[in-house]
Structure 1
Amino acid sequence: MSIQRRQFVAAVGSAAVAGIAGCTAFRSREDGGITGETLRLTTTTSTYDTGLLDELNAPFEDRYGVTVEAIGQGTGAALETARSGDSDVVMVHARSLEDEFLESGYGINRRDLMFNDFVVAGDADDPAGISGSADVETAFAEIADAESTFVSRGDNSGTHAKELEIWDAAGVGDGEFGEWYLDGGGGMGEILTQTNQGGGYTLADRGTYLSMRSDIGLEIHVEGPIEDGPDLLANPYGIVAVNPAVHDTVNYDLAMAYIGYLTGLESRERIEEYAVEGEQLFFPEAVSEEPNFQQYVPEGWDGAGDD
C-alpha cells in the first residue's frame, strides 16, 4: 500500500467503521485526505436517472478531492461489471442477486442503504381496469387476460427481477406471454418513455416515475407500500464493496469510505431531503436505533456450522 493510501486509511478508517452504525464524521481533504483517485461505482439506472447520485456524490468528491465514476446499469449488469473487477462498489436493488454476489465471494461488507417502492404505471384510460387494485398479482393477471400492452425492462435489472417475481405469483408463465408483452430492453427512464409513447403498462420504481411524471402522461394504477400498497412492491437498495481478495486492483479503501459516507447522518439527510416537485423519492434506512444485522449476510443464513 502506498504512503498516500496509508494516510487515507488513517484519515477515514474510523469513519468507515462508524458507517456500520450509520454515524460517520468526516475530515476535510486539508486534514489528511487523498486527491486524484477515482472510485468506480456501478449502480441502478433509477439512482442515476433521478439525479440522486449527483446530490450524494458531489460532497464526497469535494471533501476528498476524488472522483466518483458512476455507471448506470441494471442490477444484473452492475453486478457482472463488479464480478469482472471493473467496479469498486455496487449500489443495487435486488436482494436475491446481491446474495448470489456475496455467496460467491465477490462482495463483502454489504449495507442497507435506502428504499422506495415499485408502482404499476400506465395509460390514463386503464384498458385492463386495474386501477386502485390492492393486489398486484391480480392486477398482473388481469393485464395478461386483457392482453393489454406491458413493457418489460427485460434486462435482468432489479426491476425486471421484481416483475418476473410478480408474474410468477400471478400464475402467468413465459408461455403465456403474447405479442402484448414487449421487451423494452432499456433503463427505467427509457422504459417509461416507451410506455408513454406506445401505450400500455409497466412496472417502475416510484423515484424514477416521480422524476419523470411531468413529462409523461402515465398514471399510477397500483401503489406500492409507501402509499399502503402491497409489500410485494417494496424496493430496498443495498451497497456492497467488491472483495479485494478476489480482485486486488479494486480501490477497497475508497469504497469503504464511500460506504461509510452514504450510510452516515449527512447522507441520510440528503436522501430524505431529495425531492422532485415536493415528492420525496427515496427513504434512508442505514441509520437505525435497532439495526438489522441480517443485512450483512445472504438471506436465510444463520451462521450455524456442522459440529
Structure 2
Amino acid sequence: MLLRTSMAARALTSLGMFAAVSLLAACGGDTAPGAGPAATTTAAATTPTPTPTAPKPARPEVILATTTSTQDSGLLDVLVPAFQKATGYQVKVIAVGSGAAMQMGERGDADVLLVHSPAAEEKFVADGFGVERTLVMHNDFVVIGPAADPAGLKGSKTVAEVMKKIADKKATFVSRGDNSGTDVLEKNLWKGTNLTAPKGQSWYLETGQGMGATLTVAREKQAYTVTDRATFLAFTGKSDLPILLEGDPALLNVYHVIVPNPARLPKTNTEGGRAFKAFLVSADAQRMIGDFGKGKYGSPLFFADAGKPEPVAR
C-alpha cells in the first residue's frame, strides 16, 4: 500500500512538472521585428525577455562591425556573452574604425554596426545604407602626452589651443590615420585651429591601426595623441602618458547602433541585427554599460543614453 501511494505521488509530481513546462512553452514566442526604416530613432530602454529554452534562431550568427574602442576597453567582453545567453545568437565581432565598419555595412558584410562618427553615420543613413540609427551611450576624448610636456599643453583651456601648440612646436604626434571615429574627430580638431591635418610632416606619425596599438606607439615615441577615455583607462599601467586636456565640449564621443537597410541589403541577417540593437538599448544592457569600469576605475567608462535626447556638448 505504501509503495503504491509513493508511486502515485511521483506520478502526480511528474504530471505537474509537465503541465508547468507546457504552460511556459505556450506563453513563449518571438517578438515581431521592429517597424519600418527610420532615419534616426530614440529607443525606450526596455528589457528583452530572455529564456534559456528559447529556440535557436534560424540564422544564429550575427556579424557586428564596431569601433575598436568598444573592444579595447573590454566592454564587448561583458555585453556579447550576455546577449548570446539571452537570445541564442552567436556574435562575430569585427573591430575596426567606424569608417571601415560603415564600409562593411555598405557592402552588406555586417548585420549591425556600433559606431561613433555622427556625421558619417548620418550620411550612411541618408544614402540609404542604414536604418534605425539609435543612441546607445557616450563618453569623451582626451588629449594625452609625455609628462615632460615639450609643447607646453598644461594649463590650456581648449582643445583648439593645445592642437595649435603641438603644431607650433612640431611636437611628435601619433594619429590613428584609419578613418575611424577617433581619426575623423582628430582631423576636425586640426581644422578648428585653421590648420589642415599635418599629414606628411616629420613630427606627425600615422599608425593606420586601432586605439590600443596607437597608444602603444605614442608611449614608445613619448608623443601626444587623442584617445577615447575608455581605451586610455583600460591601458592604464601600460602607458605613462598623462591626460593633458579634458572636458572640452568638442571632445564629446557619442555611440549609435545602426541596422543595415534590409531593402537595400537583403542578404544581411536583419533579424539578428535588430535583436542585438534591441539588446543594447534594453534596461539590462544599459545597466551593464553604466556599471562598466566602476569597480576598477572608480567611475564608468561609458554613460548609458538609451531613451534619452542626443547628448549635447557640455
TM-score range, shorter chain: 0.7 to 0.9
Pick from 63, 67, 76 the counterpart of residue 90 of structure 2: 67
Structure 2 residue aligned with 1:234, among 222, 236, 252?
252
Q: Determine if contact 2:43/2:135 at 8 Å carries over to the other structure.
A: no
1:151 maps to 2:171: no
SS at match of 1:71: strand
CA shift at 1:33, angstroms? 5.7
Q: Kindly tell me: are residues 262 and 176 of structure 1, through their superposed partners in 2, closer, same or farther at Cα, counting changes over 3 Å? A: closer
Equivalent residue, structure 1, for 2:119: 96
- The one-letter amino acid paired with 1:13 is A
Distance 1:69 1:218 in 2: 33
1:64 to partner: Cα distance: 1.9
Deviation at 1:54, TM superposition (A): 1.4
The Cα offsets for residues 68-112 of structure 1, whole Å up to 9 and x where unpaired, read as: 111000011010011110001100001011011101100000101
* CA shift digits 1:122-156 (9 cap, x unpaired): 11111101023221001000000011000011110
> Given that residues 41 and 68 in structure 1 are in contact (C-alpha distance below 8 angstroms), is that contact kept between their aligned partners in structure 2?
yes
**Matched residues in 2 for 1:151 and 1:27: separation?**
44
**What is the aligned counterpart of 1:170 among 177, 193, 217?**
193
Structure 1 partner of 2:22: none
Is 1:12 paired with 2:35? no
Q: Does 1:113 align with 2:136?
A: yes
Contact 2:187 2:196 survives alignment (8 Å): no
How far apart, in 1, do the equivalents of 2:175 and 2:89 lie? Answer: 37
Alignment check: 8 A CA contact 2:230 2:301 kept: yes
Q: Counterparts of 1:10 and 1:137 in 2: how far apart (Å)?
A: 54
Residue 236 of structure 2 aligns to a residue in which SS? helix
What are the equivalent positions in structure 2 for 1:170-189 lying under 5 Å apart? Answer: 170-174=193-197, 178-189=201-212
Note closer, same or farther for the CA distance 1:98–1:154 as it changes in structure 2 (3 Å cut).
same
User: 1:11–1:32: 8 Å Cα contact kept in structure 2?
Assistant: no
Residue equivalent to 2:303: 283
| Residue in structure 2 matched with residue 268 of structure 1 by the alignment | 286
Q: Which amino acid aligns with 1:287?
A: G
**Residue 131 (1) aligns with residue 154 (2):** yes
SS state of the match for residue 100, structure 2?
A: helix
1:75 corresponds to which letter in structure 2? S
Unpaired segments of 5 or more residues in structure 1?
A: 1-8, 224-228, 296-307
Larger radius of gyration: 2
Residue 243 of structure 1: aligned partner: 261
**Structure 1 residue 40: deviation in Å?**
0.4
Work out the CA distance in 2 between the residues paired with 1:27 and 1:211: 30
Separation in 1 of the partners of 2:42 and 2:124? 21
RMSD: 2.2
Kept in 1: contact 2:59–2:272 (CA 8 A): no
Deviations 1:21-44 (A, max 9, x none): 121332314145637610000000
SS at match of 1:117: strand
